[in-house]
């Protein structure tokens, strides 16, 4: 009886050690596999939406009343650095911006320009190109949406003008 107990304990110990051993090798495998994954996590794929509170913004039909409000804010807060043509002033000309960037990206750029130019790949490139930091112009989320509407109208005008030619 005693012998039997002993052999069960010994067997259990062997099984336990084996499973430990297996566990260790498994962990090693996992950690080599996990390395590239954690690198992917550090550099997430750019989804083109920028960094900030806006995400997955869907646009509705152009609202000319909102656009008119946006134009007034643009004139007072943005026009010193931006034209609505493709001509650069301090910052890039904003013609066509609504076709080259996603709506959420533009809203994040207006409301979170510093973090954008530090972390978003596209905004980083723009800063490297223009060498001036766009600063937050104290626009509310509501105002940012109005300005976006104005920029959309500005780009729609172009499309209409092109079509008329
Ligand atoms: C002090 C000058 C300045 C002001 C004021 C300013 N910006 Fe900018 N803006 C820049 C610069 C410079 C860049 C390029 C990124 C950088 O260098 O920070 C930029 C980039 C942008 C972009 C990205 C353009 C692209 O080609 O993708 C948008 C959109 C934009 N600004 C919108 C606005 C709006 C809207 C306002 C007003 C609320 C505004 N900016 C106010 C200087 C300014």
Q: What is the pLDDT of residues 128-150, one digit of tens each?
A: 999 999 999 999 999 999 999 99
For the chain, what is the mean pLDDT?
83
Residue 2 has pLDDT above 50, yes or no: yes
Q: Ligand 1, from 50, 91, 149, 151: best to mutate by most atoms within 8 Å of Cβ?
A: 91
d(CA 8, CA 12): 6
pLDDT of amino acid 16: 47
Please give the C-alpha separations between residue 137 and each of 76, 77, 90, in angstroms, as whole numbers: 10, 6, 15
Ligand 1, pocket residues at CB < 6 Å: 77-78, 80-82, 90-92, 94, 97, 101, 106, 109-110, 113, 117, 123, 126-127, 130, 132-135, 137, 139, 147
pLDDT of amino acid 4: 59
Which residue from 53, 69, 55, 88 is spatially nearest to 148, judged by alpha carbons?
69
Q: Is the pTM of this model over 0.95?
A: no
Residue 80 has pLDDT above 80, yes or no: yes
Residue 127 has pLDDT above 50, yes or no: yes
* Maximum Cα interatomic distance, the chain, rounded to a whole number of Å: 102
Residue 10's contacts (CB-CB under 8 Å, 6 or more residues apart) are none
CATH of domain 64-164: 1.10.760.10
Q: Where are the domains of the chain?
A: 1-43, 64-164
pLDDT over 90 percentage in the chain: 67
């Amino acid at each position: 009886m005693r012998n039997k107990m002993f052999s069960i304990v010994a067997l259990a110990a062997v099984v336990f050690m084996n499973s430990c051993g297996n566990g260790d090798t498994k962990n090693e495998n996992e950690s080599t596999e996990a390395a590239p994954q954690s690198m992917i996590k550090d550099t997430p794929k750019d989804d083109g939406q920028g960094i900030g509170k806006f995400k997955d913004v869907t646009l509705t039909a152009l609202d000319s009343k909102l656009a008119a409000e946006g134009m007034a804010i643009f004139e007072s807060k943005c026009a010193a650095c931006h034209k609505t043509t493709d001509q650069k002033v301090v910052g890039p000309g904003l013609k066509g911006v609504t076709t080259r960037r996603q709506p959420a990206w533009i809203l994040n750029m207006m409301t979170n320009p510093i973090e954008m130019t530090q972390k978003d790949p596209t905004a980083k490139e723009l800063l490297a190109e223009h060498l001036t930091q766009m600063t937050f112009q104290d626009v509310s989320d509501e105002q940012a949406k109005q300005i976006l509407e104005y920029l959309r109208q500005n780009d729609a005008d172009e499309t209409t003008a092109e079509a008329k030619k």
